[in-house]
Amino acid sequence: MVNAERQQGRQIGSDLKTMLYRFRVGRRALIFIALVIFTFLTLFPFAWMAVTSVREGSEIYKVASHPFAIKSITLDHYWLLLTETKFIRWMANSAIVAITASIIALVVGVLAAYSLGRLEYKGGSLVALLIFATYLIPPALLFIPLSQIVNLLGIANSLWSLIFTYLTFMVPFIAWMLSSYCQTLPTELADAARIDGASRLRAMLVVDLPLILPGVVSVFFFAFTLSWSEYLYATTFLRTDSKLPVAVGVVNALQVGDVFFWGQLMAGALLGSVPVVIIYSFLMDYYLAGLTAGAVKG
């Protein structure tokens, strides 16, 4: 009787181990399948752009039966894009706007976030609420009043018009996001630096800022990507072809009426995404850390 019960217990334990093993295998298989699907959906647009950009002109419209079949590879689309359009100039304009606007927004946003999350003063919560409410306003509703302000400032049809308008929605986002990081900062380190003679600004830069560096890098990614790919304000405020950013210049130059130069368009879209991909690849660790972790808690 005792042996039978032991045998039955061993059998139940063996069945539980088998079920647990199958569950783990099934879970890993589902995760793997989900990652494969996600990777395919993410990389498919880039693969399609790359394939279309090297097709012959006659093959671009013959993709119904063999979408990824390439009979011959050509770089004519890239050559025409670089020589017949102002693509290099547009890339330079996008770089100037994105870098300048992101740096200014980061400096102002970090100072505002530190004030909201680290300092205590009367009306601080109201200011934080107003900043968050400002960020919630859709940018599409602001370009009409902003266009009047841009005209009054005399910066219409210049890159400064984009830099100025981008700050209106990047600074509130950065301030709101980083304020939560600043609220978790340990007060002892900054207080010790103040006792040693450091000013509040120096304590912020030397002691507190390194602790929220992952969050700073994350919001810089957001600001840079948004400035690089923004389309509405660039279309509204810029009229001169040589001052356009790449997101607008490529579309305007390679779309004539209902005729689309798909080869050059895909080449321009692919090359235009390279700077963002490069920045993400070099600073991905900081970006992921900023998304998954906050500041060091004391």
pLDDT tens digit sequence for 61-87: 766 556 666 777 888 888 988 888 899
Question: Could you tell me if 249 and 97 are in contact, meaning their C-beta atoms sit under 8 angstroms apart?
Answer: no
Task: Examine the pLDDT at 91 and tell me if it is beyond 50.
Answer: yes
**If you compute the radius of gyration of the chain from its CA atoms, what whole number of angstroms results?**
27
What per-residue confidence (pLDDT) applies to 98?
93
Q: What is the pLDDT of residue 11?
A: 61
Q: What's the CA gap between 156 and 233, in Å, rounded?
A: 11
pLDDT bucket at 126, cuts 50 / 70 / 90:
confident
pLDDT category at 153 given cuts 50, 70, 90 is confident
Give the pLDDT band (50/70/90) at residue 140.
Answer: confident
> Whose CA is closest to 105, among 218, 204, 220?
220
Comparing 13-22, 109-118, 167-176, 287-296, the range with the smallest average pLDDT is 287-296
Domain boundaries, the chain: 1-74, 76-292
Pairing of strands 255-256, 259-260: antiparallel
Taken in order 3, 5, 6, 8, the sign of the CA dihedral is positive
The beta strand positions in the chain, using DSSP E, are 255-256, 259-260
Residue bearing tokens 């959906």 = 41
The whole-chain average pLDDT of the chain stands at: 80
CATH number of this structure's domain 76-292: 1.10.3720.10
pLDDT > 90? residue 103: yes
Amino acid occupying residue 230: E
pTM for the whole structure: 0.78
pLDDT band at 7 (very low <50, low <70, confident <90, very high): low
Per-residue model confidence (pLDDT) at position 92: 93
Task: Please state, as a whole number, how many other Cβ atoms lie within 10 Å of the Cβ of residue 235.
Answer: 16
| pLDDT at site 297 | 43
**Does residue 39 have a pLDDT over 90?**
no
Query: Who wins on pLDDT, 278 or 108?
Result: 108
Kind and range of the H or E element at 22? helix 2-53
Per-residue confidence (pLDDT) for residue 203, from 0 to 100: 79
Mean pLDDT (whole number) for 21-36 = 84
Q: Averaging pLDDT over each range in 70-74, 147-151, 253-257, which range is the top one?
A: 147-151
pLDDT over 90 percentage in the chain: 13
Neighbours of 190 (CB within 10 A): 20
Buried b (16+ CB within 10 A) or exposed e, 277-298: eebeeebeebbeebeeebbeee
Calculate mean pLDDT across residues 189-214. Answer: 79
